[in-house]
Amino acid sequence: MDELREAAAAWLAQDPDPDTRAELKTLLDADDTAALADRFAARLEFGTAGLRGELGAGPNRMNRVTVMRAAAGLAARLLSGPPAPPTADRSPGTPERSGAGGRPGVVIGYDARHGSERFALDTAAVLTGAGLRVWLMPRPLPTPVLAFAVRHLGADAGVMVTASHNPPRDNGYKVYWGDGAQILAPLDAEISVAIDAVGRVDELPLGGPGDWTVLDESIVEAYLRALDGLPLGDGPRDVSVAYTPLHGVGLEVLRRAFERAGFPPPQVVPEQARPDPDFPTVAFPNPEEPGAMDLATALGERQDADLVIANDPDADRCAVAVPAAGGWRMLTGDEVGALLAEHVLRHTHGDDRLVVTTIVSSSLLGRIAAEHGVRFAESLTGFKWIMKARTAPDDRQVFGYEEALGYSVGGDGGVPVLDKDGIGAALTVAALAAQAKRDSRTLLDLLDDQARRYGLHATGALSVRVRDRALIADAMTRLRRTPPASLGGRAVARVDDLAAGDGGLPPTDGLRLHLTGAEGRARVVIRPSGTEPKLKCYLEVVLPPGDDVDAARARATTALDTIRTDLDTALGLG
């Protein structure tokens, strides 16, 4: 207890935030050992996803001290030498990196979560105090605007203060490098080492508001102009959309994007239209979660909409629902990814085009790429990997997606944002739906077309949450030693241990099981979550092409259910 009290007292002495100071003083006065240990016996680790955690006092929470230390570590890394050479292409016509022959520059964005603006201002103060050039976004804006701005401004790095679709009490700190993509190893480790070397934050030199540039609306206009290059086609714009930003920051930018592209303004869920960091109408502000889209689909029903679209709170993800027999049907990320990929490839040109998805997403994208004669790559999970995937030096990436509702859509000039972009994806989905509507068809009809052409690729998931992360490590060890002989009546024909860097990919803790049976093929990928105490499993069943798609979907659903049941037993975590 003495060590915890000493650590808490040292933190209290440097903390500039009266709220977390009061929280910490209350815990010290109450001798609340458990609460102090929860805050001080561990710390938030800085990794390729930056920082993310619950708001509160101490190194195991997101707060002003944690953020200032992170900013000081980032500054130290930028000042220690030339930035690592980019491994993704800079957008045509963008200026040279600001640090070339001058001070390194960082652009900072933030969303509307609790603490986001304050954390952005603290970051600006620390970076300018360290001698860096800083641009600050003019107001809370979507994450893809920040990711775009890094390349547009020729910055050496970018910081986005957001926890995306996490619960209300969370916040986070995402770092981009000068190529406009999220950082990868070894940069994360180098920044983490620099953070560890930071002393007291009340001894850091700090800049003031006059030391950084607050951007104006021209940065949003530049982002919207970049979306002009999306492959929307010159077809109809007659599509009725019901939309929700889920209490986030997407609405105003999406409205402007729709107007600029000639689409009717979307009907917006009024209860969820304004940014609200408490997310009062949803249990969890993630459009993948059950119930999160209920208000949006209800609006779609009342308005007789063609389409329901949702962004998550920082608008980097895009969810889609369509009218179906018996109500609205949420499309999976793999279904939207397949539709967008084929649309992009029909509206772009060149055999140097590259499309990318992750090892846990559907294998359908590879089939689509082969049919269109373009290049295809698989990456590890996450857009930080998708945007670094290459099959050849002259690859021109025009599309990337992951099953978790993340898409980066591009045209012949490549992708305008080297990260997932829920605004650009929403625009492209609207264009695709409008073209289908012109032909008296729907997105469901287009999915059926793909099933007949490429075979039915049905995907599902199993996620097991545990209290003790050691149980996950034990389960992975057990599966490696003794993988199941069969799942869902299908033989496990091969097991790929992804820790060995299968297929030229960087090593990662995961297993890929290939299943064979009387009809089609199946695959299961198992990996621990990088952010939560979960073991995540991704299932796919592929059935041969056929005319009776409804019957094939029913068989695939049954196959997924039986595989999921057997897998749950094999994991031994229930």
Helix, strand or coil for residue 497? Answer: strand
Are 440 and 384 contacting, i.e. CB atoms less than 8 angstroms apart?
Answer: no
Same domain, 469 and 344: no
In 33-110, which residue ranges form alpha helices assigned H by DSSP?
33-40, 64-79
List pLDDT tens digits, range 429-451.
999 999 999 999 999 999 999 99
Catalytic residue among 91, 98, 116, 164: 164
> What's the pLDDT score for residue 85?
44
> What's the pLDDT score for residue 1?
66
List pLDDT tens digits, range 501-514.
877 889 999 999 99
Within 17-132, strands assigned E span 51-54, 105-110
In a domain, 392, yes or no: yes
> How many structural domains compose the chain?
3
CATH classification of the domain holding 556: 3.30.310
Segment 222-233 mean pLDDT: 96
- Report the predicted TM-score, pTM, of the whole model to 2 decimal places: 0.94
In a domain, 130, yes or no: yes
Is pLDDT at 54 greater than 70 in this prediction?
A: yes
- DSSP character for 570? H
Same domain, 409 and 435: yes
Choose the final residue of a domain: 435, 451, 467.
451
Same domain, 398 and 447: yes
Segment 59-75 mean pLDDT: 98
Same domain, 57 and 174: yes
What percent of the chain clears pLDDT 90, i.e. is strictly above it? 89
Is pLDDT at 209 greater than 70 in this prediction?
A: yes
Helix, strand or coil for residue 511? Answer: strand
Segment 240-254 mean pLDDT: 98
Q: In what order do the strands lie in the sheet with 213-214?
A: 51-54, 170-177, 157-161, 105-110, 133-136, 213-214
Choose the final residue of a domain: 222, 247, 263.
222
In a domain, 247, yes or no: no
| Catalytic residue list contains 164 | yes
Residue at token pair 């292409």: 89
3-state SS, 62-76, equals ECHHHHHHHHHHHHH
In a domain, 244, yes or no: no
> What's the pLDDT score for residue 519?
87
Are 347 and 411 contacting, i.e. CB atoms less than 8 angstroms apart?
Answer: yes
State the helix-helix crossing angle for 333-346 and 443-454, rounded to 10 degrees.
80
> What's the pLDDT score for residue 91?
40
What percent of the chain clears pLDDT 70, i.e. is strictly above it? 96
CATH classification of the domain holding 421: 3.40.120.10
Choose the final residue of a domain: 206, 222, 238.
222
Same domain, 472 and 427: no
Is pLDDT at 88 greater than 80 in this prediction?
A: no
> What's the pLDDT score for residue 125?
98
Higher-confidence residue of 468 and 365: namely 365
Same domain, 44 and 145: yes
> What's the pLDDT score for residue 468?
87
Is pLDDT at 71 greater than 90 in this prediction?
A: yes
List pLDDT tens digits, range 175-202.
999 999 999 999 999 999 999 999 999 9
Provide the terminal-to-terminal Cα distance of the chain, rounded to the nearest Å: 35
Residue 354 is which amino acid? L
> What's the pLDDT score for residue 48?
78
In a domain, 19, yes or no: yes
In a domain, 288, yes or no: no
Residue at token pair 């490429």: 454
List pLDDT tens digits, range 511-567.
999 999 888 899 999 999 876 788 999 999 999 988 899 999 999 999 999 999 999
Same domain, 475 and 436: no
> What's the pLDDT score for residue 87?
38
In a domain, 35, yes or no: yes
Same domain, 391 and 468: no
Same domain, 391 and 459: no
> What's the pLDDT score for residue 86?
42
Mean predicted lDDT score pLDDT of the chain: 94
Same domain, 205 and 347: no
Are 437 and 306 contacting, i.e. CB atoms less than 8 angstroms apart?
Answer: yes
> What's the pLDDT score for residue 82?
60
Residue 169 is which amino acid? R
Residue at token pair 């995306």: 164
Residue 6 is which amino acid? E
Segment 287-295 mean pLDDT: 95
| Count of residues in the chain | 574
List pLDDT tens digits, range 3-27.
999 999 999 999 999 999 999 999 9
> What's the pLDDT score for residue 83?
52
Same domain, 425 and 499: no
Is pLDDT at 100 greater than 70 in this prediction?
A: no
The whole domain housing 549 covers 455-571
Same domain, 28 and 155: yes
In a domain, 230, yes or no: no
